[in-house]
Amino acid sequence: MLRSYIAQVTFLCLTAALLLAASQAMRPEGWTLASLYGYWLIRVLIEATLFIAFFEVIDRVPGLKSRVWPVAVTAAVVSLFPFALSITALDLILGLPELDGLTASALPTAPSTATTANGISHIGSFFLEVIYLSDNHLALCLLLTAPKLFVFSTNTQTGTKALTEAQKDTADVADSTENPDLQDTSLVADGTGFGRHLETPLEGDLLRVEAQEHYVRLVSETDSRMVLYRFNDIVAELPGNDGMQVHRSHWVAYAAVVGQSRENGRLWLDLKDGSKVPVSRKYMDDVDARFGKETTAQKKAVN
């Protein structure tokens, strides 16, 4: 995004400099065509740098952040004075007559007031220079605001789309919770998600995942596969609404758990395929929150 913005601003500055140089009717005495184009390029780059710098600073002011037009207008007005100072200094260094001509025409003829008048004349000449440069400066600032408007519009549309999708996902999750017929069936490996790591789809619903050295074992009711993959990565690809990690090496599907048991002071989850999965202390509270009431009800039913 930043590279694209820099490229757009550079292109706009080059285009503006070429147009301004081409539209100048007369070249200063002794200047070549290359000197004229170089002068306008430097001038436009100074102008653009000041505007963008002030834009970025003002954009961080509370109440103005991400409000493109107020920030752009403020940055254009504030950057006008340092821009006029910079161009005045550049013109004086290069010997251009704009400010000198204004000063000479404004000076009084009386020698006794030369010092005072000279000071007043320079100040007046500078403000005339500001007025003279304002239309050019504001036009370029408007041109450089265009990429910002495009980025803001794109981000707004993207944010709105993401918000809509998030609201849709939330509604889908709520519907699947209230209606069992709408529950997620993504635990069936179909070549997407974790299923893409398998040469052939896993038969049946996934019950548990177990880390074994550099491999991961995927277990369903009727199938079992070994995959060369990181356990944490494959767990991250599993649907969070259908299961949970209960141990550093084990993940279980909620639908697979039929009860809990303790052996030697350690908590185990009993799965419907007859296997047992250990629960580490780190995940014990989450397991109790998820399965505690169901287990208590099962114990009462057995008694």
Tell me what pLDDT residue 169 has: 47
Return the higher-pLDDT residue of 257 and 200: 257
Mean pLDDT of 285-293: 81
pLDDT at 230: 84
The runs of H, that is alpha helices, within 240-280 are: none
For 184, the token pair is 């997620």
Smallest CA-to-CA distance from 256 within 212, 294, 218, 206 is with 206
**For position 150, what pLDDT does the model report?**
65
pTM over 0.75: no
Q: How far apart are the C-alpha atoms of 221 and 214, rounded to whole Å?
A: 23
pLDDT score for 55: 86
Q: What is the DSSP string of 184-233?
A: --TTS-SSSGGGGGSSSPPSS-EEEEEEETTEEEEEESS-EEEEES-HHH
pLDDT band at residue 278 using 50, 70 and 90 as cut-offs: very high
pLDDT digits (tens, 9 = 90+) for 241-253: 889 999 999 999 9
Query: How many C-beta atoms lie closer than 10 Å to residue 207's C-beta?
Result: 24
pLDDT reported for residue 271: 93
Question: Does 205 have pLDDT greater than 80?
Answer: yes
User: What's the chain's average pLDDT?
Assistant: 74
d(CA 35, CA 57) in angstroms, rounded, equals: 33
pLDDT confidence band for 194 (50 / 70 / 90): low
The backbone torsions φ and ψ at residue 252, rounded to the nearest 5 degrees and listed phi first, read -130, 150
User: So what's the pLDDT on residue 2?
Assistant: 53
Q: Is the pLDDT of residue 131 over 70?
A: yes
Query: Which band of pLDDT confidence, cut at 50, 70 and 90, is reported for residue 294?
Result: very low
If you average pLDDT over residues 104-110, what whole number do you get?
41
